[in-house]
Structure 1
């Protein structure tokens, strides 16, 4: 019972309704709306694997699972099993389901081994019976009617029907023409399956026959002329024969379906599992969620043999930038307010967290967000938080949130809370592996007694439950952290200037009382405030000042931490950039050395070959001095060709004088940079490469062509030459990247590589779509160190679907 109450209090049915909108079939919708919580962790792991693999298929491999034609045929299978005869529409739904399942299996079977092992194992049991599908399509048309080709006998009956119908129409048309004055309207219609014509009641004797119906006013009689009675009788017999033959065909198809009914039921179950997994994956993508990892909380799955607490877990809970999924839905679907994410990082030794803070500050939303995150992970869904998402697998989530006041049961708010907490403690007797969420614990009664009860209850939960989160206004609960290492404090931040909460969760800091501060800001009489301050006492005010100081320190540390993270990322980027360029230069050097060695070896071989020819010429006959002289000259000529003298070495290039704006090379760093300024003495200059600036000596640089700096005469200073006008940007295939269809996370890696190797600008094709990818690209470009600015491309280059990033 308490588990059902928990799901209602956390608005779990509403989340399931949202999830069902991402299902493709009625089967998937029903599975999402009646979602049952797994009782074993292995079941959760299986569901999570299914979700991950579908997510991989649809977002990394761009393969969409199609569920066209798949219907809920379970009722039809049950009727077939009871030897009933299925209607044509039911038979058609069986055929379309078989076709849809076959296409679904083909899509999954086409994937490479190891990409989707869970899905492949699932569809191995899928039997689609193509022969049965083909037979149904042969016998039943798109409207669920039995076709002429189903049976030769049926075809003959229908041909006789058409002939008989033509005879009846011919006779009736002639009769309408001959008795035009007696006819109310020149039409042929049917009554009770027999063809009749409308005759004026005043002229009924002109057309003898059987009257089958009368108009509302009685002015028109629907008469079957005597001349067509025999043909109509024959038509009725043919219709009965047709119905009997159609029924025989449908019975035969039904029997074939009943023979494989168990396999078809299994097929429906597998299609439901696949559709439900696809709905979870698509919902996770829509939320911008990430897959959870279940951390190992040792001792969480078993009760201790003595009265001491269970052994503590070894890994912490990490949920950064966690968002409430229902609030995300309101923001995106119903134009609600932006969702403020929360950070939850709970150390392994913590068993109870007490959250304090002002009303409407987000304490209750925090409880519900954590509860929904745990439930979403438990059913194999992604959690709307930043990676990594790490949390335990809880057997139970138990909550006491909201007011359970009941006039019918004579329950006050306090009584309602106590009864629900009693049910929670009873449930904890079954398993300690539970998450307990308590809102305003101990509220609704005398503050002193309520505070004492809250302290005793939280100490009991510290012994009985793996993790408990409680919100409270009682200041006494803030001190539990300093008495028991299993307790932790948290608070929702409050802005003293605007007198409103920021909805941000602060860890390790208890919330301070804001009542007197708010009253003072709102203009309550100062003497009343001072009198209230006397009742509160100076120690309370001192405590508030200490807490305020802690909050200020925390904000400063958070800002410094964010700045440090930014600098670290920049340094890592520069290091990676320099490392890549150094590796590239080393590869080029190795390649050039290899080429040079090959060239030298080839020349040596050629020289040896030509010298051998000279020697063989000398060996042919008697050698004279002139021959020896000629041979020596030939060898000297070869030496001059393959072993050039020092005079043939390239002369050093003439020097140059760098100017502001020139690009130069720093050989000892293997970097190219831009000259920012030159010292007055002309011996040093400031150079920028990437995000770094440094001062180097003139003898440490050279031009891009390898020219060393030629120092000018002191007596002849040079006027700085302005930098050359930049060449216009031209879009090419080398400076253009296409990231359409990519996730923001994957696109960032591609962008980082493109920016690192880019020269002046790159064209980024992201398309229009929902705008999420474009927003993610712009946020990434804002933070990148090499990007000086970015803008939308010209209309002929793609307009707002393309972004140009200018690089430094």
Structure 2
């Protein structure tokens, strides 16, 4: 039995490292095959160079050139001159103006190369099978070494990442304990701001909940950093679980969540068969999360219940968060709904936080304030983003009217709700029909392209058959002419010999 060192030496003798190519030195048979391949290739190249130059000189080819078609070396010929070179037609160009012809004198050499190539493949396979059997005798040792190297590589990568990241070592605690993270930043900010002190440009957040808290609701305006805070917390928990340092202050404690599941962003699909609207995709995601949540799961929800009637969406969000508070270890959600804020404040196992908004500057501060609820401030945000003042004025008037109507005209509110539902349903149906129309148009375009391709290939094949037929006819005529010349010479010889015999 070979030692592991001898196994390594056998592999290095037979296979290039790196690269993986089987070397000539792997066996005498392989060396001989490749020497013969090089000799024949050189002979074939020399012969085809001379032939291609001759064809170009006679204007039977555009230029002296050697190409490969169907794995065989050949010469490109002009369409009308293909019959001037005895040989085999291998292919025709897409325009039909060039015929790729293998000269008759090159056929034996190309055949020899094909045979040697098959022999080479067989010999390489034999060598690799032999090496595999040698490696197999030490499979357990090699697998153990590979696992050890993998662990060392991962540990080294973590250490280098920690050094580059300048992060904090997390303390992993049981899932039933609380979470304490100070000055947390999203790790992508560290990546984007490499070489600068991100603390000067990124507002960090504190996340501190005790073991009794099962649900945290983050409220506040759009563009205020609610979703970014949600993602930063989720990524931090996954990084800690993977043994990575975190972009926060030292002394952080992260529970070990066996599962981190989230519903973030828009999962709308436009498939014609079984496509989902934004709200439909949202409901599917919520159902999967409700089914998967356990007592060691962290759930992240971005505005649950959104995408539908606000009253119904708020009720749905409250019900989902109540359910997850009973089944998951910790649920963190963002929301604009007042009903969600009120339900969170009324629960002993829930906690609220809000992203801060400066009404003076009309800009978010990105600070996360615990124990407070924030307003959406949509009109203030719109003003800060430069929306036209007259649009904002009309929006404020409409908002005031809506508030008044909500107080004094319940039936009108119901009617508006019904009209909004109908409009939403019509919009969704319109989207589906437009998607179907686009898909049908794409299918028609693909069908037309396929038809054109088939027609082009058919014409190509007809042209190739005609060229082959013309070559065959020319060859037959040449053979007949040679036969006639031979017969004439024989008759002349016979006529000369007959008088002498008399």
* TM-score (structure 2 length as normaliser): 0.53
Distance 2:376 2:341 in 1: 12
Compute the displacement of 1:357 (Å).
1.2
Distance 2:244 2:158 in 1: 6
Change in CA separation of 1:401 and 1:168 when aligned onto 2, cut-off 3 Å: closer
SS in 1 for 2:12: helix
Distance 1:383 1:532 in 2: 49
2:208 is matched with 345
Aligned 8 A contact 1:435 1:468 in 2: yes
- Structure 2, unaligned runs of 5 or more: 50-56, 76-80, 406-502
Distance 1:424 1:279 in 2: 33
Q: Which is higher, the Rg of structure 1 or of structure 2?
A: 1
Change in CA separation of 1:128 and 1:288 when aligned onto 2, cut-off 3 Å: farther
Distance 1:513 1:195 in 2: 73
Distance 1:339 1:332 in 2: 13
Distance 1:497 1:322 in 2: 27
Distance 1:211 1:454 in 2: 79
SS in 2 for 1:353: strand
1:133 is matched with 8
Distance 1:375 1:499 in 2: 34
2:290 is the alignment partner of 1:425: yes
SS in 1 for 2:229: helix
SS in 1 for 2:213: coil
1:257 is matched with 132
Choose from 190, 214, 217 the match for 1:354.
217
Distance 1:379 1:421 in 2: 26
Compute the displacement of 1:162 (Å).
8.8
Distance 1:215 1:441 in 2: 62
Distance 1:432 1:172 in 2: 76
SS in 2 for 1:354: strand
Distance 1:504 1:148 in 2: 67
Distance 1:273 1:409 in 2: 43
Distance 1:188 1:534 in 2: 83
Encode CA deviations 1:510-539: one digit per residue, 9 max, x unaligned.
2257568789997859x9699789979xxx
Identify the structure with bigger relative contact order (alpha carbons < 8 Å, sequence gap 6+): 2
Distance 2:48 2:402 in 1: 105
Compute the displacement of 1:339 (Å).
4.0
2:182 is matched with 320
Compute the displacement of 1:260 (Å).
2.7
Change in CA separation of 1:240 and 1:266 when aligned onto 2, cut-off 3 Å: farther
Change in CA separation of 1:411 and 1:155 when aligned onto 2, cut-off 3 Å: closer
Distance 2:129 2:304 in 1: 61
2:238 is matched with 375
2:271 is the alignment partner of 1:393: no
Change in CA separation of 1:153 and 1:394 when aligned onto 2, cut-off 3 Å: closer
2:368 is matched with 505
Distance 1:328 1:220 in 2: 59
Compute the displacement of 1:499 (Å).
0.8
Change in CA separation of 1:341 and 1:132 when aligned onto 2, cut-off 3 Å: same
1:435 is matched with 298
SS in 1 for 2:228: helix
Aligned 8 A contact 1:357 1:511 in 2: yes
Distance 1:162 1:530 in 2: 85
SS in 2 for 1:492: strand
The RMSD of aligned alpha carbons is 6.0
Compute the displacement of 1:213 (Å).
8.6
2:345 is the alignment partner of 1:470: no
Question: What is the correspondence of 1:647-662 to structure 2 with a 5 Å cutoff?
Answer: none
Encode CA deviations 1:439-479: one digit per residue, 9 max, x unaligned.
334444344x6555544544443333221222223445445
- Structure 1, unaligned runs of 5 or more: 1-126, 174-180, 203-209, 301-312, 537-808
Choose from 174, 184, 199 the match for 1:296.
174
Aligned 8 A contact 1:318 1:344 in 2: yes
1:115 is matched with none
Change in CA separation of 1:159 and 1:358 when aligned onto 2, cut-off 3 Å: closer
SS in 2 for 1:421: helix
Distance 1:518 1:141 in 2: 63
Encode CA deviations 1:642-681: one digit per residue, 9 max, x unaligned.
xxxxxxxxxxxxxxxxxxxxxxxxxxxxxxxxxxxxxxxx
Distance 1:518 1:222 in 2: 74
SS in 2 for 1:509: coil
Change in CA separation of 1:155 and 1:188 when aligned onto 2, cut-off 3 Å: farther
Change in CA separation of 1:189 and 1:453 when aligned onto 2, cut-off 3 Å: closer
Aligned 8 A contact 1:284 1:384 in 2: no
Compute the displacement of 1:434 (Å).
1.8
Distance 2:262 2:99 in 1: 74
* TM-score (structure 1 length as normaliser): 0.36
Question: What is the correspondence of 1:466-545 to structure 2 with a 5 Å cutoff?
Answer: 466-479=329-342, 483-512=346-375, 514=377, 524=393
2:287 is the alignment partner of 1:445: no
Distance 1:221 1:162 in 2: 23
Aligned 8 A contact 2:7 2:135 in 1: no
Distance 2:400 2:66 in 1: 96
